[in-house]
Amino acid sequence: MGGERHRAQVTALPTPGLMLRLIREGSPVTRSDLIHLTGLARSTVGQRVDALIASGLVKEVGEGSSTGGRPPAVLAFDHGAGVILAADLGATHSRIAVTDLVGTSLAETAADLDISEGPGVVLDWLESTFDDLLSEAGRSKREVRGIGIGVPGPVEFATGRPVSPPIMPGWDGYPIPERFETFEVPVLVDNDVNIMALGEYWSNWRDCEHLMFIKVGTGIGCGIMAGGAIHRGAEGAAGDIGHIRVTDDPTVVCSCGNVGCVEAIAGGGALARQLADLGLDAASSRDVVRLARAGNPRAVHLVRESGRLLGEVLAAAVNLFNPSVIVIGGDVSHVHEQLFAGVREIVYQRSLPLAARHLRIVRSDLDDRAGIVGAAIMAIEHVFSPENVDAAIAAGMRTTG
Ligand SMILES: [Zn+2]
């Protein structure tokens, strides 16, 4: 029978959590589809679907096609059965959102806030902003099922603690998840470029399992999706390409304390300093973008040179990691014509033909929303992982309302 034939497709025990994954990821499914997909008995599937419906996560949304008799009910994940709180905290500006359970924004705001104010000020503000956005979305604190937060520095992912973050004074070792304990839900914290990579992958590149997201803002960072998952490395430091050395010039001093880092020449902050030294009005990466867009020849030249330097580093990264797509975001990507010309020139010239022959280099489609989408997806994928759904159902998952 069909169940025998399909049994090999489900390697893990087909628990309610695994069935929820099938319902969340697949096209509309009926109980009969689940019997075929899992190889379980009709009665077992019935019990597990009932548990998912009782948990509020799955609902019946109409009728499938029938081969005679009563048409079977189609099952769907209930996107509205709770909300997610998401935050992308940047060096100087942040974006906060309340989303549904597939990451669609229900209420969202962006604000200028300096991360160097420290965890006390920033997280007080974040908590009150979450409260305001919940009210705006007409949802209650009780409906929150998970919280995802990105910060502009290295994070020990298992504990949600920043580790010696160069531009986040006062945050070293700070236990960010504990600050949101009153919500009694999982709180996930990661480096901002990792969540941007996840946001882009999830929204636009689900068929590309090997993706690099490059953020060119004040500094230069990189998030890596390997095999469809964030690659954090042994300590959570993977992808920190901004501190790869590209020059012996001892005057190029980086914020990390070393000399010659690519970020210290080609990052938006470094470009602004070089333009200011030439007498131009430039204090930040946004000023660099403004000047380059206005056609200032020095700004255009610098951005193009910056693209070439970044291309040197990316060519090495392409040889090492062989991504199928490089997505470039961050403020400086807003002058993509100049930046990308430099990047493409060097990457295609310097990477191995096999690594580069199908490589695409594109601008971030989500732009300054990549982080907030990724923060929400990070929380959603954790909360609704099969293991966590099974544990929650066993413990009597709360229903909303
Ligand atoms: Zn450095």
| Structural domain boundaries enclosing 141 | 83-185+370-394
The CATH number for 64's domain is 1.10.10.10
Query: Per-residue pLDDT for 282 more than 70?
Result: yes
Distance 327 CA to ligand 1 centre (A): 22
Has residue 219 been placed in a domain? yes
Task: Name the domain boundary from 25, 46, 77.
Answer: 77
Cα of 170 from ligand 1 centre, angstroms: 20
Radius of gyration, CA atoms only, the chain: 24
Q: How confident is the model at residue 401 (pLDDT cuts 50, 70, 90)?
A: very low
What's the gap in Å between 260 CA and the centre of ligand 1? 7
Among candidate residues 78, 98, 179, 104, the one with its CA nearest the CA of residue 140 = 98
Total number of domains constituting the chain: 3
Residue 252 belongs to a domain: yes
Count the helices and strands in the chain (H runs, E runs): 14, 15
What distance in angstroms lies between residue 252's CA and the mean position of ligand 1's atoms? 10
Q: Please tell me the pTM assigned to this model.
A: 0.90
Does one domain contain both 314 and 217?
yes
Q: How far apart are CA 122 and CA 306, in angstroms?
A: 32
Q: Are residues 104 and 61 in the same domain?
A: no
pLDDT tens-digit profile of 321-352? Answer: 999 999 999 999 998 888 999 999 999 998 88
Q: Identify the domain boundary among 55, 77, 99.
A: 77
**The pair of three-digit structure tokens given for residue 260, joined into one six-digit string:** 């010659």
- Whether residue 139 is found in the same domain as residue 259: no
CATH of the domain at 174: 3.30.420.40
Residues 178 and 106 in one domain: yes
One domain, residues 301 and 212: yes
The number of angstroms, rounded, from the C-alpha of 67 to the middle of its chain's C-alpha atoms is: 43
- 106 and 93 in a common domain: yes
CA of 261 to the centre of ligand 1 (A): 5
Higher pLDDT, 196 or 28: 196
Q: What is the pLDDT of residue 65?
A: 67
**At 248, which amino acid appears?**
D
Q: Which of 52, 77, 102 is the last residue of a domain?
A: 77
Q: Evaluate whether residue 232 is within a structural domain.
A: yes
Of residues 247 and 256, the one with the higher pLDDT is 247
Indicate whether 218 pLDDT > 50.
Answer: yes
Cα–ligand 1 centroid distance for 286 (angstroms): 21
d(CA 316, CA 358): 16
- Comparing 226 with 33, which gets the higher pLDDT? 226
Average pLDDT over residues 183-210: 96
| Predicted local confidence at residue 12, as pLDDT | 53
- Pair 357, 377 in one domain: no
Q: What is the reported pLDDT for 396?
A: 72
Q: What is the pLDDT of residue 38?
A: 83
CA of 239 to the centre of ligand 1 (A): 13
Q: What is the rounded CA–CA span in Å between residue 86 and residue 377?
A: 9
- Say yes or no: 59 and 90 in one domain: no
pLDDT at 13: 63
- Burial of residue 388 (number of CB atoms within 10 Å: 0-12, 13-18, 19+): middle
Mean pLDDT of the chain: 90
Question: Is the pLDDT confidence value at 385 over 90?
Answer: yes
Q: Is residue 399 part of a domain?
A: no
Q: Is the pLDDT of residue 391 over 70?
A: yes
Q: Are residues 277 and 219 in the same domain?
A: yes
What pLDDT is stored for residue 198 in this prediction? 97
Tokens 């040889």, residue?
A: 319
- Distance from the CA of 344 to the center of ligand 1, in angstroms? 23
Tell me if 131 is assigned to some domain: yes
Note the pLDDT tens digit of each residue in 57-116: 999 987 766 666 677 889 999 999 999 999 999 988 899 999 999 999 999 999 999 999
Long-range pairs, 103-110, Cβ under 8 A, ≥24: 103/202, 103/373, 103/376, 103/377, 103/380, 104/79, 105/372, 106/137, 106/139, 107/133, 107/134, 107/136, 107/137, 108/133, 108/372, 109/133, 110/368
The answer for residues whose C-beta is within 8 angstroms of residue 324's C-beta and 6 or more apart is 208, 209, 210, 211, 358, 359, 360
